[in-house]
Amino acid sequence: MKKIGRVELTSNSPFAVQSTCMYSAQLLDHFQNPRNTGDLSDPDAAAQIENPACGDVLRLTLKTSGNRVSQAAFKAKGCVPSIACGSALTELVLGKTLDQARGLTREDVIAGVGSLPQASNHAAQLAIDVLNAALNQLKR
């Protein structure tokens, strides 16, 4: 059998692929272990937005207590970054006042997933869009 010069696998770990993956470890963690999934029953606000670019659908339900977001849950259908951004979004808004939640930006969502490839910016935008759609249903 002929030996193949320098081609060798550096690791047998099934996770080896992820180290060279375009997504950050934090993003993959949100994707693999999404936080606050589902639909809140009897929410104070519920919004669903579809991104026509790649067909991602993100749904967000919120419950408020006083002037704060007391519960948040999301459902997503779409690419890996969209699901990760939905998960990060729920962590970002939980416990925030409505004004603080209104002040969240795409950059906050990106920071929540560690980093985001340029080509996946739509996922963070979708998260902010669905957040604003939900917040718009709440009185100031």
Residues of this chain, 45-74, that bind Zn ion according to CB under 5 A: 54, 56
Exactly one of 79, 92, 101, 127 binds Zn ion (CB under 5 A); which one?
A: 79
Find the shortest distance in angstroms from Cβ 51 to Zn ion: 6
Find the shortest distance in angstroms from Cβ 101 to Zn ion: 23
User: Quick one: 37 or 125, whose CB is closer to Zn ion?
Assistant: 125
User: Quick one: 58 or 92, whose CB is closer to Zn ion?
Assistant: 58
Sheet with 68-77, side-by-side order of all strands: 45-51, 56-65, 68-77
Give the count of residues interacting with Zn ion (CB under 5 A): 5
Exactly one of 36, 61, 64, 82 binds Zn ion (CB under 5 A); which one?
A: 82
> How does DSSP classify residue 119?
G
**Cβ neighbours, 10 Å, residue 39:** 12
User: Quick one: 16 or 119, whose CB is closer to Zn ion?
Assistant: 119
* Amino acid type, 13: S
Adjacent-strand bridge partners of 102 = none
State the Cα–Cα distance between residues 119 and 27, nearest whole angstrom. 14
String of b and e for 70-82 (b: at least 16 CB within 10 Å)? ebbbbbbebbbbb
- 129 is a contact residue toward Zn ion (CB under 5 A): no
Contacts to Zn ion by CB under 5 A: 54, 56, 78-79, 82
